[in-house]
């Protein structure tokens, strides 16, 4: 089982029981969403399961769910829960309101965030995420792709390798495009994950590690090497310039993990792109392939 998911289960178990009984003996409760629906009321169960009609987890958290489906479910203001929402079987979930303890998407599901809040959103398998508004503390993308166009990410945005949540088989790179929004925390590209930065407010530091790639699109971009052996693990750069949406980078810390024996080559690229007039950013982002040949790749020393 994926380590992040297992940790989420352990935390949930601890919250449900103050006794010294083993975590596996906790009795979970479920609310199922097998059909198209709009939810505007509180969910009081431990799990909200989208894409199945019934069933439960066993003591080892293996799925024993029944009657798979692929609904489209809208969660709006009032749809509050402290437990975990799980999305399966190519379902589509629109989060435009409410609050959730955590949201985890599997299979080829879609999660559209246009409001509401959650401390943790994790995308597995070949899922896609589209965020335009709302608030997520920790957004971990291990699915197919994610687009961040608005909203607030408070602590961390991660582009990681796409993998099968049950077998751990690597399916490919998860590509995360940031074109807007306010990312207060750090931005990470891990393993084969690819993080493309076109715009938005980037408050935290940037990290590429274990074979991750960061691509920065804009004009006047420069990266000055400050320390080739930062903490004996990273090359530390100072990143400046103007992003493709006109946002300014002023001596942003960029950490690129140095090559190691057991993991891949991490890297970053600066892509010269003309800063557009207001209102034309969308057209620019549709044509980034036209400038891909001008990528300036800077590898670690």
Per-residue pLDDT at 168: 66
Relative to beta strand 54-57, strand 63-66 is: antiparallel
Please report, in tens digits, the pLDDT of each residue of the chain (301 residues total).
444 444 455 444 444 443 333 444 458 999 999 999 999 999 999 999 999 999 999 888 889 999 999 999 999 999 999 999 999 999 999 999 999 999 999 999 999 999 999 999 999 999 999 999 999 999 999 999 999 999 999 999 999 998 766 666 777 899 999 999 999 999 999 999 999 999 999 999 999 999 999 999 999 999 999 999 999 999 999 999 999 999 999 999 999 999 875 677 999 999 999 766 544 444 444 444 434 333 333 333 3
Distances (CA, A) of 184 to 201, 249, 281: 8, 14, 22
Per-residue pLDDT at 249: 96
Domain ranges, ordered by start, for the chain: 30-298
Nearest Cα to Cα of residue 241 among 211, 206, 191, 210: 206
185 Cβ contact partners less than 8 Å away, ≥ 6 residues apart: 137, 138, 153, 154, 155, 156, 157, 203, 204
């Amino acid at each position: 089982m994926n380590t992040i998911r297992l940790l989420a289960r352990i935390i949930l178990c601890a919250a449900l029981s103050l006794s010294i009984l083993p975590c596996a003996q906790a009795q979970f409760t479920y609310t199922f969403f097998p059909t198209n629906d709009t939810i505007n009321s509180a969910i009081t169960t431990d799990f909200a399961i989208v894409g199945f009609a019934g069933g439960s987890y066993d003591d080892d958290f293996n799925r024993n769910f029944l009657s798979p489906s692929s609904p489209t479910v809208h969660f709006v203001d009032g749809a509050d829960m402290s437990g975990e929402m799980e999305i399966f079987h190519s379902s589509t979930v629109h989060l435009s309101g409410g609050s959730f303890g955590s949201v985890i998407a599997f299979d080829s599901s879609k999660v559209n965030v246009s409001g509401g809040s959650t401390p943790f959103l994790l995308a597995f398998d070949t899922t896609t995420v589209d965020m335009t508004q709302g608030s997520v503390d920790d957004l971990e993308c291990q699915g197919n792709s994610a687009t961040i166009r608005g909203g607030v990410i408070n602590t961390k945005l991660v582009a990681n390798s796409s993998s099968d949540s049950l077998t751990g088989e690597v399916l490919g790179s998860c590509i995360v495009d940031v074109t807007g929004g306010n990312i207060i925390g750090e931005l990470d590209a891990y393993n084969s994950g690819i993080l493309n930065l076109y715009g938005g407010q980037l408050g935290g530091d940037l990290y590429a590690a274990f074979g991750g790639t960061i691509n920065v699109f804009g004009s006047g971009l420069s990266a000055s090497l400050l320390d080739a052996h930062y903490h004996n693990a990273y090359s530390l750069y100072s990143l400046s310039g103007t992003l493709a949406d006109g946002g300014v980078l002023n001596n942003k810390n960029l950490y690129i993990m140095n090559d190691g024996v057991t993991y891949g080559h991490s890297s970053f690229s600066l892509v010269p792109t003309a800063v557009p007039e207001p209102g034309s950013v969308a057209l620019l982002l549709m044509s980034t392939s036209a400038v891909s040949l001008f990528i300036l790749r800077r590898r670690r020393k």
